[in-house]
């Protein structure tokens, strides 16, 4: 599966952005989709993940502010980001991990679990 992320930009503190990740390939419902981010000088960190069965997990730092979703028919995955903070500034990546079943509840926030990656999209939150 190939992925392409978009939707980043410059926003003020408290603002919102919606990132999109368009996938190409087959059997997308067999993949868990994750969003990761990497700020300058920092390691890549998991932000959120949605399973094949649409269960989700979030990093503590974004709980209550970010919402992940997927539309397999459109081959598109989303990360709605609200109440953005300057510390959310980073390059955001989407990634896919094979779950093995459309009913799988598998999620992960570990980048090593994901084999397919999209290019990043820059999110900058000004204070």
Cα–Cα distances in angstroms (integers) from residue 52 to residues 33, 55, 65, 101, 115, in the given order = 8, 8, 22, 7, 16
From CA 81, how far away is CA 23, in angstroms rounded?
A: 20
Q: What is the pLDDT of residues 66-125, one digit of tens each?
A: 999 999 999 999 999 999 999 999 999 999 999 999 999 999 999 999 999 999 999 999
Measured between alpha carbons, how far is 33 from 122 in angstroms, rounded to an integer?
19
Over residues 86-100, the pLDDT tens digits come to: 999 999 999 999 999
What's the CA gap between 48 and 76, in Å, rounded?
15
Predicted pLDDT at 14: 98
Instruction: Give the model confidence (pLDDT) of 9-57 as tens digits.
Output: 999 999 999 999 999 988 999 999 999 999 999 999 999 999 999 999 9
Q: Look at residue 51 in the predicted model and tell me its pLDDT.
A: 98
């Amino acid at each position: 599966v190939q992925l392409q992320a978009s939707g980043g930009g410059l926003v003020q503190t408290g603002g919102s952005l919606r990132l999109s990740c368009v996938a190409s390939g087959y059997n997308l419902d067999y993949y868990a989709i994750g969003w990761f981010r990497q700020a300058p000088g920092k390691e890549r960190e998991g932000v959120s993940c949605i399973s094949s069965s649409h269960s989700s997990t979030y990093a503590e730092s974004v709980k209550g502010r970010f919402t992940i979703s997927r539309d397999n028919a459109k081959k598109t995955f989303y990360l709605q980001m609200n109440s953005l903070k300057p510390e959310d500034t980073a390059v955001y990546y989407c990634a896919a991990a094979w779950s093995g079943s459309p009913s799988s509840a598998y999620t992960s926030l570990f980048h090593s679990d994901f084999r397919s990656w999209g290019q990043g999209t820059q999110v900058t939150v000004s204070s």
